Amino acid sequence: MQTTGSENRLKRQYQPCIWMQAGVVDHKLCHEDYNCPRCRYDRVMNNLAEENISLKRSGIIPFGKRGRIVSWKERLLARPLSKRPCIHHMKGRIEFRLCHMEYRCGSCDFDQFFDDQYSVHAVVRPVDVLDVKGFKIPQGYYFHQGHTWMKIEESSSVRIGIDDFALRLLGPLDKIEAPLVGREIRQGRGDISIARGKNTARMLSPVSGIVTSINSTLREDGCLANRNPYSEGWVMMVRPDSLRMDMKNLMIHNESSAFMDKQVDLLCREIEEVAGPMTTDGGFFGDDIFGNMPQLEWGRLAKVFLRT
């Protein structure tokens, strides 16, 4: 299985948010790969829309920019039937198709069919995901100390990618390049190259073998990996030549969560080194640590965490 959800998708440089496509807001790009239930912005917008409805019900006319917010469904339903795109088209997964169901996806046969078909071709999303101080570690994935992962798939091949920690540490990447199909990779060698603006770094291969397929989307849109590090953001498929040996140097289950835990502590120490003792108390690290604290220095982060 070497097709991916991202390849099924129509290629688009930008992914406009559903709220923007419906015309409720002027400009908003999607950073959640159209996983609306997971999206905070979607939640806030829905709440605002509901608030406005209840204000109107009680006879108050909400004003200003905020007062004009209605749900994206309501806005699209105001259009004539022939101008109502299916939600799967808006998410860039299919060619144009009309919605005949007034956006009641729950009772739409096409939606059911589409979801089934889509999941066959899509990379299986990890089900059991551990949370280590806010960083994700899915079960069944093997981790290399240089923050790459490997997952054994059917027909004696493995899938390789970059972990959530490295991607959030270095922030949205412009480009991720794997060696070409047919090339050889070696465990612990810097075979993967990543770039963000003028900053570049290499990442270590978790196993040795021959590259059989690469995720070419990452050449133009490295950010896909930031959005889905363990599924659509995979980097390459490899036919390993000494998997049993290689696995001895990889971590799984408790080992990988203990390792990640220590890496987060190490990151806190690195931050204290450049910014003084942390006296902020609160949540987990956000999605772009380097971008928000460039004094951490790209080169140093690569050396300490990517080991390159």
Partner 1 sequence: MSKCVFICPIGIIASDIIDRLMACVEERCGINCEIYPPMETPRYAYDDRRFQYDSKMILKQMIKQCPPHNLGFMGVTALDLFVPILKYVYGLSQLDGRCSLISTYRLDPALYGEPPDSDLLMSRIGKTAIHELGHSFGLTHCRNPRCIMFASTKIEHTDFKQPTLCSTCLEVLKWKIKMM
Q: Which stretch binds partner 1 (CB under 8 A): 52-60, 94-102, 222-230, 273-281?
A: 273-281
Map the footprint of Zn ion across residues 278-297, applying CB under 5 A: 281
**Residue 167 near partner 1 by CB under 8 A:** no
The least distance separating partner 1 from the CB of residue 291, rounded to whole angstroms, comes to: 8
Closest to partner 1 by CB, 59 or 282 = 282
State which of residues 210, 285, 298, 304 lies at the interface with partner 1 (CB under 8 A). Answer: 285
CB of 100 to partner 1, least distance (A): 35
Residues whose CB is less than 8 angstroms from the CB of residue 221 and which lie 6 or more positions away in sequence, other chains included: 13
Mapped onto helix, strand or coil, the DSSP state of residue 136 is strand
Instruction: Mention every residue, 6+ apart, whose C-beta is less than 8 A from residue 288.
Output: 168, 171, 172
Q: Looking at 89, 93, 125, 133, which residue binds partner 1 (CB under 8 A)?
A: 133
Q: 208, 242 in Cβ contact below 8 A?
A: yes
Nearer to partner 1, 40 or 244 (CB): 40
CB 178, CB 192: distance < 8 Å: yes
SS3 at position 65? helix
Instruction: Using the minimum distance from each CB to partner 1, give the nearer residue, 109 or 281.
Output: 281
Q: Which does 283 bind (CB under 5 to 8 A by kind): Zn ion, partner 1, none?
A: partner 1
Residue with tokens 């019900």: 57
CA–CA separation, 26 and 13 (whole Å): 18
73 class by beta-carbon count within 10 Å (0-12 exposed, 13-18 middle, 19+ buried): buried
Joined tokens for residue 48: 């605002």
Residue 282 interacts with partner 1 (CB under 8 A): yes or no = yes
44 contributes a contact to partner 1 by CB under 8 A = yes
Residue type, 272: E
Report the nearest approach of partner 1 to the CB of residue 134 (Å): 7
Q: Confirm or reject binding of residue 293 to partner 1 (CB under 8 A).
A: yes
Binding site for Zn ion (CB under 5 A): 281
Binding site for partner 1 (CB under 8 A): 40-41, 44, 133-134, 271, 276-286, 289, 292-293
